[in-house]
Amino acid sequence: MHQQETPVSEFDYDLFVIGAGSGGVRAARTAAARGARVAVAEDRYLGGTCVNVGCVPKKLYSYAAHFHEDFEDAGGFGWQMGEAPRFDWATLRDNKIGEIKRLNGIYGRLLDNADVSLINGRATVIDGHHVQVAGDVISAQKILIAVGGWPWVPDFPGSELTVNSNQVFDLENFPQRFLVLGGGYIAVEFASIFNGLGSDAHLVYRGELFLRGFDDEVRTFARDEMAKKGVNLHFNTNIESIEKVAGGLKVTLTDGRVMEVDAVLAATGRRPHLAGLGLDRLDVATNDDGTLKVNERFETSVSSILALGDVTGGPELTPVALEEAMKLVEYHFTTSTPEPLDYARIATAVFCHPNIGTVGLSEEAARGIYASISVYSADFRPMKHTLSGSNERCLMKLIVDDATDVVVGAHMVGEEAGETIQGIAIAVRAGLTKAQFDQTVGIHPTGAEEFVTMRTATRH
């Protein structure tokens, strides 16, 4: 006999969200605005990875690291600095803590003002409609898993001596000698940040070149610029062991090199933070990498259990989680069907020094999709550095599908690349053509005008 589903009114909540990060909070607030009864359970901190140990503190530290170059650049413009600037790690660290507490408070008020119940505790899923948290069993029509990811560190002798990306912001003492293990954007960013703050910075990566998946020309350009700034890059090698010694940490690499450093950051990837949630008992389907498998409605294999954000294995970007949250609410708490999220044309930035900004396809990906493409690129010394004396260069690049003239990719390595690419991303998302880029009058003198003045293809 078919059992009739319990009416919505018999559940304690219409939506129970596990995780108060960017995606979970946005889904909770948006669903509540649609009239749903919503609760959020969080056992750690409001705002998730982004606010607490991700984008926000990272960007603040990146700003701090840039000042080092600004002081040096100022001389060519007539500024006499006098006594050499001195960096105080504790001031940056503690001011960052204050800012994050402020943001935590804002997230709390957002939930409170939206009439969302906040429960402090790690929730576990009992079945498709019940969770347990803080000793209580709570029923919900739908359960949303928005627990994000957690740093993963490989096992090797001395791996327990490393710090992960959650911990690196709050080191007690500033590491004069800093090593980061990894080749993703977190590794590249922190190598640049600590180099800019004054560390002797090293990056160790097992592959030939970092930032796999990004445009190859962007990767090589960023590699060369980072090396010029003094970051010591060690490719095609790995850490064999770490041991504590009187002067710090002795790191032995697989190529036989040995170095002594004060701190080792293991930026070796993040994995879904599913431990203890109870989803394994329900046999919820996962992807090969352990992330939760969802359909276009963000439903897992148990249809009343939803998931979004980093835990589903998509782009690990805060704005992606926010967009997914709003689309999820449209699917489940309105009568409309949203337009699917365009994952192929999502802009992103890497806050290494100089910054990387990118949207759309890499040159390599475009060659695999289109019969013929044209590449327009400009590699130049920014106007600012004609007087600063810096040898930093800037790269700008457009990828065009020859058959339609549509710009399918845009890339930049240079100062404020993220700010510049955000505007270009609108054009790429809109499917504008190279002719339309060319018809756009540039703003002079800016670096960004290069994106509308590149007339001759670099290669086809």
Residues with catalytic function: 444
Residues in contact with 49: Cβ distance below 8 Å, sequence separation at least 6, in sequence order: 21, 148, 149, 310
65 residue type, one letter: A
**Hey, which residues does 117 pair with through a beta bridge?**
39
Contact predicate 408/361, CB 8 Å: yes
Contact predicate 384/76, CB 8 Å: no
- How far is it, in rounded angstroms, from Cα 364 to Cα 356? 17
DSSP string, 13-64: EEEEEE--SHHHHHHHHHHHHTT--EEEEESS-TTHHHHHHSHHHHHHHHHH
**Hey, which residues does 358 pair with through a beta bridge?**
348, 411
Contact predicate 411/347, CB 8 Å: no
CA–chain centroid gap for 91, Å, is 25
Q: Which of 237, 235, 238 is nearest to 159 (CA)?
A: 238
Residues in contact with 312: Cβ distance below 8 Å, sequence separation at least 6, in sequence order: 291, 292, 293, 294, 298, 324
225 phi/psi in degrees, rounded to 5: -70, -40
Contact predicate 261/248, CB 8 Å: yes
Contact predicate 141/304, CB 8 Å: yes
Note the helical H segments in 130-281: 185-197, 216-228
**Hey, which residues does 264 pair with through a beta bridge?**
179
- How far is it, in rounded angstroms, from Cα 141 to Cα 130? 9
